[in-house]
Structure 1
């Protein structure tokens, strides 16, 4: 049964990613999985249960990644976490392109996702505060500065694919994703943070980006 369920989820994920959630019916998924609708319904009674299973996969992978990163959130580890987050989001891209439709249609998923977002922001804020304490980031320039930055990082990453597609920006690769995320953090670098950042091998799409001085250089 587990192999059959996996085949169903893989077929659904491929269709959701390429055609959009609202355009896919159970018949399409059954055809993609090579089975009848009745057989599919034995394993997943409706589309919501399939979406919920895919969301559970995604959220667990993202939580595990964030927990691993939190152990030692140095810049090198942070960059690895950013690139792996891109990988998970691109693999489940339908969820980030159709987020509003999903949480409206499936309230239980919406509640779970909102709880995850609050948890994610708290973890990001702790990582920022850790890097302030070790001297890689400047002290907060105003109250709640790093709470706001954590929120901006989360919003930028979760809405990244939608924004790039709407604006018809050519690059949807991890280099652009990493560069956009780091561009939010770099204004808070100390000279120590700049030196550490310069030692990371970043897959950036703009080779001149690293050479541009940040505020801490002035």
Structure 2
């Protein structure tokens, strides 16, 4: 038996089961059986599956905050793609949510409201990275107003729905190299000529180039 408080054990076991079988296929009884405790012990801490999901979402936000992505200065070569890989690892930890995002936020509007705010923050981080790199000369000057905002949304979509993509296409592996290659391809046309040359050195080391 784990030394963790029972509430944390329930959260961790729920995440594990959700990742294995999908959020909507797991009942509170499944979680209690996996922990070898009564259903009442689970519902004592979480009155409903919605209450459990709300706690898990708070845990997701706390985990993401601990990665300190927004605090990076992006002074190393390839750091942007390194951050994308960190985010993908985070998504892998909670992949059930990113595979069933739409159904979860429709079922639980409160979580949907929180997630929309989180998405806006993530978009702002990506936009800031792009404009920061344009200011440094790593990216070319924005070809037309709004293009980098659109690019930020394309990058976010590629990351956020990557695991759903893998499931739809029948891929059982996370495919992180392919995900990073996709991000690299989205950004590549806007890189300065010097940075394009640098990326030829960076890409093979992180699985972006064949």
TM-superposed CA distance for 1:79, in Å, is 2.0
RMSD between superposed Cα atoms in Å:
1.9
Q: After superposition, where does 1:179-198 map in structure 2 within 5 Å?
A: 179-198=181-200
- Matched residue, 1:3: 5
1:11-32 residue CA offsets vs partner (Å, 9 max, x unmatched) = 1011111111111111001111
- Matched residue, 1:132: 134
Structure 1 unaligned blocks of 5 or more: 208-218
Q: After superposition, where does 1:1-218 map in structure 2 within 5 Å?
A: 3-65=5-67, 66-69=69-72, 71-72=73-74, 74-169=76-171, 171-200=173-202, 202-204=205-207, 206-207=209-210
Runs of 4+ in 1 over 4 A off after TM superposition: none
Structure 2 unaligned blocks of 5 or more: none
Q: Would you say how many aligned residue pairs link Structure 1 and Structure 2?
A: 206
What is the rounded CA distance, in whole Å, between the counterparts of 2:150 and 2:45 in structure 1? 43
Query: Is the CA contact (8 Å cut-off) linking 1:160 and 1:177 kept in structure 2?
Result: yes
What is the rounded CA distance, in whole Å, between the counterparts of 1:198 and 1:205 in structure 2? 9
Q: Give the TM-score taking structure 2 as reference length.
A: 0.90
What is the rounded CA distance, in whole Å, between the counterparts of 2:37 and 2:46 in structure 1? 13
What is the rounded CA distance, in whole Å, between the counterparts of 2:179 and 2:106 in structure 1? 27
Q: Give the TM-score taking structure 1 as reference length.
A: 0.87
- Seen in structure 2, the aligned counterparts of structure 1 residues 34 and 75 have a Cα distance that, compared at 3 Å, is farther
